[in-house]
Amino acid sequence: MSALASGSGTTALTIAHLPQPGSRTAPEKFKGDYTKVRTFVKQYERLLALCNVTNDRDKCENITQYCGSKTNRLIEVLKAYQEEQILKLFDADRDLKRYKVRDLDDFVRRCKSIPIKTLSDWTKFIQGFIVIADWLRLKNKISEDDYPVYLWQAIHRKLRHQLEARLLVGDVSRDMSTPFEADKIILAAEKLLQRDRFDTDRAWSDLEDDSDDDTSSSDSDSSSSDSSDSEDDSYRKARKSKKSPHSSKKKQTKKKSKRVESNGEQTSRDSKKVSIDDLVHKMSRLSLDDPKYALLYLQALSQNPDIKLVLAQPIHRDAKQKGRTLDPSRHLHPPPITPIPAPSI
DSSP for 241-256, written as a single string: HHH-HHHHHHHHHHHH
User: What is the C-alpha separation between 225 and 65, in angstroms, rounded?
Assistant: 52
- More confidently predicted of 142 and 233: 142
Poorest-confidence range of 47-61, 146-160, 219-233? 219-233
**For residue 7, what pLDDT band results from cuts at 50, 70 and 90?**
low
What pTM did the predictor assign? 0.43
Q: Is residue 168 part of a domain?
A: yes
- More confidently predicted of 297 and 197: 297
What pLDDT does 125 receive? 96
What pLDDT does 136 receive? 92
| pLDDT tens readout for residues 239-260 | 455 445 455 555 566 665 566 5
Contact (CB, 8 A) for 328 and 301:
yes
Give me the long-range contacts of 13-16 (CB less than 8 A, separation at least 24): 13/50, 13/51, 13/52, 14/51, 14/52, 14/53, 15/51, 15/52, 15/53, 15/58, 15/62
Three-state DSSP class for 30? Answer: strand
Q: Is residue 243 part of a domain?
A: no
What pLDDT does 95 receive? 67
Which of 89, 80, 85, 86 lies closest to 55 in space, CA to CA? 80
**For residue 183, what pLDDT band results from cuts at 50, 70 and 90?**
very high
On the question of pLDDT at 211 being above 60, the answer is no
Q: Is residue 334 part of a domain?
A: no
On the question of pLDDT at 332 being above 50, the answer is no
Q: Is residue 150 part of a domain?
A: yes
Q: Is residue 226 part of a domain?
A: no
User: What is the C-alpha separation between 338 and 267, in angstroms, rounded?
Assistant: 47
Three-state DSSP class for 67? Answer: strand
Rounded to the nearest angstrom, the gap between the alpha carbon of residue 89 and the centroid of all alpha carbons in its chain is 36
185 and 105 in one domain? yes
Rounded to the nearest angstrom, the gap between the alpha carbon of residue 179 and the centroid of all alpha carbons in its chain is 38
User: What is the C-alpha separation between 279 and 291, in angstroms, rounded?
Assistant: 14
| Mean pLDDT, residues 302-318 taken together | 77
Q: Is residue 213 part of a domain?
A: no
On the question of pLDDT at 90 being above 90, the answer is no
What pLDDT does 235 receive? 44
- More confidently predicted of 182 and 9: 182
Q: How many domains does the chain have?
A: 3
What pLDDT does 173 receive? 83
**For residue 129, what pLDDT band results from cuts at 50, 70 and 90?**
very high
Q: Which domain, by its residues, includes 36?
A: 15-97
Q: Is residue 267 part of a domain?
A: no
Which of 162, 148, 164, 153 lies closest to 117 in space, CA to CA? 162
Q: What single letter denotes the amino acid at residue 181?
A: E
Which segments of the chain are extended strands (E)? 3-6, 9-12
114 and 81 in one domain? no
**Of the residues 97, 113, 137, the one at which a domain ends:** 97
120 and 68 in one domain? no
Poorest-confidence range of 3-12, 99-108, 144-153, 277-286? 3-12
Q: Residue 7 to residues 3, 4, 10: CA-CA distances in angstroms?
A: 13, 10, 8
Q: Is residue 210 part of a domain?
A: no
**Of the residues 71, 97, 123, the one at which a domain ends:** 97
**For residue 86, what pLDDT band results from cuts at 50, 70 and 90?**
confident
Dmax (CA) for the chain in angstroms is 174
124 and 90 in one domain? no
| pLDDT tens readout for residues 252-303 | 666 655 665 555 555 555 555 547 788 887 888 788 788 888 888 888 888 8
**Of the residues 193, 221, 236, the one at which a domain ends:** 193
According to DSSP, residue 75 is labeled H
According to DSSP, residue 329 is labeled G
| Mean pLDDT, residues 127-143 taken together | 92
In the chain, count H helices and then E strands: 14, 2
**For residue 152, what pLDDT band results from cuts at 50, 70 and 90?**
very high
CA end-to-end span of the chain:
166
What pLDDT does 227 receive? 47
